[in-house]
Structure 1
Amino acid sequence: MTIRKRAAAAAAVLAFACAATAAEKPEELTIQKMPAWHPHEIFIVDPSGDAATDGRIYVYDADARKELGQIDAGFLPGFAISPDHKTSVVATTYFSRGSHGTRTDVMEFTDNSTLDHAGEAIIPSKHAQSVPSAWNTTFSSDGKHIYVSNLTPAASVSVVDAHSRKLAGEIDMAACVLALPSGPNKFTALCESGKALTITLDAAGKESRRVMSEPFIDVERDPAFANASPWQGGYVFTTFHGMVRTANFRGDKAVFGAAWPLVTDAERASGWRPGGLQPTAVHDRMHRLYVAMHQGADGSHKEPASEIWVFDLNSHKRVARWSLADQKIPPLVVSVQVSQDDRPLLYGLTLTGDLVVLDAQTGKLRSITQHVARTPTLLVNP
């Protein structure tokens, strides 16, 4: 073929390609809206995802029995949902070389209507890298501030303005950890002495007052689970040996209820006690306390549940006892949570990452979905 013929052939191919391209409609990328929020939507915190530096938050519809989407969460994330359900935040760590290199800690905002990234705030590079807790990253009750627990091992809390999405400041916590919201301008941390430290903030998010409570947890003889359950504006604390005590930190001085037992003397003698990573959940209006229970001994407080016990928080009486084996549910439940509607569901995560859904009034099994998460730790139901 001569040079002239080769040039003509190339021109013909080019003209054909251009015509084909012009005829094709350009692809348009859109962001699909999430279904309207409903009380049976659950967020599952999986700190490892496919790798230790690649945590995930899975959004799951318990009625439709399907995953709706996921939120990237980095390394050992803290996670919280705003009181109006519109926004999620992840407090996490990234390294410039994946698992090492320059460290950057960041709070990432997610629009819950699309699960799209909605902004971020750089925070001090001391975010507590631990198994996620319900209280290591939290919103204030009015949604204006977000609290992030830090540990270096010195304990502090970073305060982020949720509106401007900027760091408002950092508060020294005097070796007390976590941040349990105690009202629109307060949060409370738990101390190694068994006391509670309550911090009051001014409008700018700066500390204006601090009050230390009397000891309410016997940390030497019967420690309490850090994942307390909110109830009636306060919290329900459960101990390793099966004692319950309420706490209210909203006033000038903390108010504690009298301790009461989950187990009888005979049940305690046979080893019944709470266990797991998130062993309790409370339905606020029904005054129901759900506890993941197992038979064990001292040191078994992380063991999974073989039964779920249900208590009336007003009378302190057990009103139900559900054996997982009776419904062929693996006795491996490590985290529980309950929806807050009039037809509540009780959720359980197993060691193998399965999501178990029960009717929270009858204990009847609704569904088991296998392998929803790789490293199950925390259930959040806004």
Structure 2
Amino acid sequence: MKRKRLAAAMGAVFYGLLACHMHAGAAEKPEELTVAKVPPYNPHRVFVTDVSFASMTDARVHVFDGDTKRFVGEIDGGFAPGFTISPDHKTSYVATTYFARGSHGARTDVVEIIDNTTLDVTGEIVIPAKHGQTVPTPYSTILSADASRLFVSNITPSTSVTVIDTATKTVVGEIDTDGCVLAYPSGNDRFTSLCESGKALTVKLDATGKEASRKLSDAFIDVDHDPAFINAVRDGNKYLFTTFHGNVRSADFSGDAPMFGTSWSLLSDQERKAGWRPGGLQQTALHVASHRLYVAMHKGADGSHKDPGTEIWVFDTESKKRIARWDLAKQKIDPLLAIQVSTDDKPVLYGLTPTSDLVMMDATTGKKQHVEKQMGTTSTLLLNP
């Protein structure tokens, strides 16, 4: 009997609430769902590629506005995506993999084209099902200087690069890179891949995007005694490679023969003995206009090259001298796994902590500006070019 009375009472409450809702709904204007556009571009917008090893099939690219200090939105990334942004900031490209049943089943690899004003997918290009599924790096998926070609690195474990015509949205070729990996573009008609021998393979393209010629350089990285990080920083056609032991060497692949600069050290003899060295997943950032190279540094030993930086050291690339040294702990900033810097005349240095906090610092003074908590389980940090 008590159960019947309770059921009757609950029914009366339900129908009373329903009646109130219907009465209110008759007088109110129905809600309309709309999709807001992304705020206009500014040079402090940051794109964070988030690949969680706990959920590799569901990667994201988080979009954060450094001026308003607000999360803007996110781009779906599929399985272990490569990501790049067009020079005019209007379009992003995501090279990724989808499986018919989530983590298995029939495989489809695509490049998805993203409208950066809405973050919507506006098209896709099916590519060979061999897109390299790696920890994100800027050089796994990257555009030529004029954005007419998109280069997607492949590993099966054989290595190659898929070349895409962005105007026609078609694959125009696949180039065997003979064991060398990634794509470092030079201008519009060539890219370079790094080889396990420390050499570099440069492939020149013809007008259709097919291979016209290739050239293998002499070794410019001592892979046995001082390997280099793959995430070089770029100044036009010139790349600065930083090594595990804290040396820097430039490489220009734009000519018929590569040009390598003289290696120079980030460390004094005393600092080297103390164990200071670069570390993290994206260890360096370059502000081209001011010739400032930012390096995430930590105290470690052989094998610690993935450890995050406890300090940021700032160097003038012309004088090759350190001009600043920022101890992160003094500002209660956790060590940084990845860093990047904006390209404008009021640059912001961004960093990612191991717990995926996004840190913003004044790139001139090193002063902390903002910390956005838990932007995801992030692997690398990318900004608009």
- SS in structure 1 at match of 2:270: helix
* Distance across 1 between alignment mates of 2:42 and 2:221: 36
Partner of 1:243: 247
Contact 1:49–1:56 (CA under 8 A) maintained in structure 2: no
Offset at residue 232 of structure 1 (A):
4.1
Contact 2:48–2:382 (CA under 8 A) maintained in structure 1: yes
| 2:237 counterpart of 1:233 | yes
| 2:299 counterpart of 1:283 | no
Offset at residue 165 of structure 1 (A):
1.1
Deviations 1:26-49 (A, max 9, x none): 875543221111100000000129
| 2:345 counterpart of 1:345 | no
Partner of 1:12: none
Contact 2:185–2:237 (CA under 8 A) maintained in structure 1: no
Offset at residue 121 of structure 1 (A):
0.3
Contact 1:351–1:376 (CA under 8 A) maintained in structure 2: no
Deviations 1:266-311 (A, max 9, x none): 1011100000000000001111000000000000000001000000
Superposed, 1:1-382 pairs within 5 Å as 29-48=33-52, 51-331=55-335, 333-382=336-385
Offset at residue 115 of structure 1 (A):
0.7
Offset at residue 359 of structure 1 (A):
0.3
* Distance across 2 between alignment mates of 1:256 and 1:227: 17
- SS in structure 1 at match of 2:337: strand
Partner of 1:7: none
TM-score (norm 1): 0.92
Contact 2:352–2:378 (CA under 8 A) maintained in structure 1: no
Contact 2:136–2:379 (CA under 8 A) maintained in structure 1: no
Partner of 1:16: none
Which piece of structure 1 moves more, 194-203 or 73-82?
194-203
* Distance across 2 between alignment mates of 1:32 and 1:49: 31
List 4+ stretches of structure 1 deviating above 6 A: 20-27
Partner amino acid for 2:328? Answer: L
* Distance across 1 between alignment mates of 2:170 and 2:145: 18
Deviations 1:3-52 (A, max 9, x none): xxxxxxxxxxxxxxxxx999997875543221111100000000129822
RMSD: 1.9
Offset at residue 169 of structure 1 (A):
1.0
Offset at residue 378 of structure 1 (A):
2.8
List runs of 5+ in structure 2 lacking aligned partners: 1-23
Partner amino acid for 2:348? Answer: L
* Distance across 2 between alignment mates of 1:294 and 1:338: 19
List runs of 5+ in structure 1 lacking aligned partners: 1-19
Partner amino acid for 1:317? Answer: K
Offset at residue 377 of structure 1 (A):
2.6
* Distance across 2 between alignment mates of 1:21 and 1:69: 31
Partner amino acid for 1:86? Answer: K
Taking only the aligned residue pairs, the percentage that are identical comes to 59
Partner amino acid for 1:368? Answer: V
* Distance across 2 between alignment mates of 1:50 and 1:118: 29
